[in-house]
Amino acid sequence: MTEALLKVKNLHTEFRTEGGIVKAVDDVSFEVNAGEIFALVGESGCGKSVTALSIMGLIPNPPGEITSGSIEFDGVDLLSLPSREMRAIRGSRIGMIFQEPMSSLNPVLTIESQLAEPLKIHENLSGNVANDRAKELIDMVGIPDSATRMKQYPHELSGGQRQRIMIAMAMACSPQLLIADEATTALDVTIQAQILDLMQDVTSQTGASLLIITHNLGIVARYADRVGVMYAGKLREVSDASDLYAEPHHPYTVGLLQSVPRLDADKGSPLSPIAGEIPDLTDLPEGCAFNPRCEWAVDKCRIEQPTLEETKPGKQVACFEHETVALRV
């Protein structure tokens, strides 16, 4: 077994708000191996994006703060790095793509200058060399007519093209890890697949790991090697992707899978969405945060919080009743 590229250990990230302290990420641990595609899934507000921003060191402080834990990247603890060294890693060894292609590119700077920027910052390339590289990057992400595109502004490009530019920018310095935070959510379904294929291609070419943050289980099934399921700031299940669909061990995972519309289901058979609502993060229920919505919940779940435990090789679940759950499905 190779050494993991990214090791997140007991990460706690909190936000101070008017309503109280929100534990957006609460004791999250997982590892991403070199060259693999790891997906973090969950509903909006479950803490998956905050986890990504914590890795990047981009938690807005205030109001947010990483209160404890460690994030080890290639043997270095990112949380203990001085900001200057963290900056040197951002954009060079870890690249990131964001959700909104419309607003993630600077509207007043040309594509060229935005693409060349990481090269100038991290590889000290001079203007012309960086611009030539930028042109190659546009070709790499499959946008035709790169010479014209270079001189254009973001508003002259389509959403899909902008996201390709974001990928080119994130991959400019050949990072070891690419983080895609809901990178395809705002795009049309047909474009989504193209963008995901592109991310898979560019990372596999350089051997980079890919961390996909998404709420879309379809994407997870199609692309991810391993999956972490998050709910209310905690990881509930970590599993091989194929195994997750075949044998979900956490009630929340089961609920998520059942709420996805399927083409192969009987016509007219109802979807079964998860009952209840996502809890208020400032006022979480006692015990397991999922217990009010869980059909398997027992008394213990309302008092004690389950921790993530290995149930079989390659599978970790945080549920007292996981054996029952596994049997039911």
Partner 1 sequence: MWRYIVQRVLVSIPVVIMVGIITFTLVYVGPGDPAAIIAGDEATPEILEAIREDLGFNRSFPVQMGDWFWKLAHGDLGTSYFSRREITELITPRLQPTLSLGFQVVVLSTLIGISTGMLAAWKAGTRLDRNLMVLAVLGFATPGFWLAFLTIWVFAVNLGWFPVIGYSPIQDGLFSHLHSLFLPVMVNSILASAFISRITRSAMLEVLREDYIRTARAKGASEFSVFLRHAFRPSAIPVATVIGASIAGLATGFVLTETIFAIPGLGRMLVDAIVRRDYPIIQALLMVVAVVLIGVNLIVDILYAYIDPRIRY
Partner 2 sequence: MSVASEPRTEWELAPPWSTRLKGMFGSTVKAAKRDVVLAVSITILLIGLFLAFFGPTLARTDYERTDPINRMQAPNTNHWFGTDNWGRDVFDRTIVGTRLSFLVGFSVTLISTVIGVGVALVISYFKILDAIMMRFVDGLLAFPTILLALALISLIGPSVGNVIIALSLTATAGKIRLVRGAVLSLRESTYVDAARAVGVPVPRILFLHVLPNIVSIIIVQATFTLASAILAEASLSFLGAGVPEYVPSWGNIIATGQGYIQVGFHISFFPGLFLTITVLAVVLIGDSVRDHLDPKLRGRLKTTAQQ
The SS3 assignment for 49 reads helix
Min dist CB 60 to partner 2, Å, is: 9
302 binds partner 1 (CB under 8 A): no
Site string for partner 1, 1-40 (x = CB under 8 A): ----------------------------------------
Long-range contacts, stretch 297-303, CB < 8 angstroms, 24+ apart: 297/251, 297/321
For residue 18, the partner it binds in partner 1, partner 2, none, with Cβ less than 5 to 8 A by kind, is partner 2
Min dist CB 322 to partner 1, Å, is: 37
Residues in the chain: 329
- Distance CA(210)–CA(35), nearest Å, equals 7
64 binds partner 1 (CB under 8 A): no
Residue from 61, 67, 68, 106 binding partner 1 (CB under 8 A): 106
Min dist CB 62 to partner 2, Å, is: 5
Going from the C-alpha of 220 to that of each of 42, 189, 217, the distances in angstroms are: 11, 15, 5
103 binds partner 1 (CB under 8 A): yes
68 binds partner 2 (CB under 8 A): no
For residues 101 and 195, the answer to whether their CB atoms sit within 8 Å is: no
108 binds partner 1 (CB under 8 A): yes
Near partner 2 in 4-33, by CB under 8 A: 16-18
123 binds partner 1 (CB under 8 A): no
62 binds partner 2 (CB under 8 A): yes
The residue (of 16 and 262) whose beta carbon lies closer to partner 2 is 16
Long-range contacts, stretch 198-207, CB < 8 angstroms, 24+ apart: 198/141, 198/142, 198/164, 198/167, 199/97, 199/167, 200/37, 202/140, 202/141, 202/167, 202/171, 202/178, 203/35, 203/37, 203/171, 203/178, 204/35, 206/171, 206/174, 207/34, 207/35
Torsion of CA 141, 142, 143, 144, to 10 degrees: 150
For residues 231 and 41, the answer to whether their CB atoms sit within 8 Å is: no
Min dist CB 289 to partner 1, Å, is: 28
Window contacting partner 1 (CB under 8 A); options: 40-48, 101-109, 265-273, 283-291:
101-109
Min dist CB 15 to partner 2, Å, is: 9
For residue 105, the partner it binds in partner 1, partner 2, none, with Cβ less than 5 to 8 A by kind, is partner 1
Going from the C-alpha of 52 to that of each of 11, 84, 93, 148, 314, the distances in angstroms are: 11, 19, 15, 34, 22
Residue from 63, 127, 273, 314 binding partner 2 (CB under 8 A): 63
- Distance CA(50)–CA(232), nearest Å, equals 12
48 binds partner 1 (CB under 8 A): no
The SS3 assignment for 136 reads helix
Provide the binding-site residues for partner 2, judged by CB under 8 A: 16-18, 62-63
Provide the binding-site residues for partner 1, judged by CB under 8 A: 56, 58, 87-92, 95-96, 98, 100, 103-109, 117-118, 121-122, 153, 155, 166, 169-170
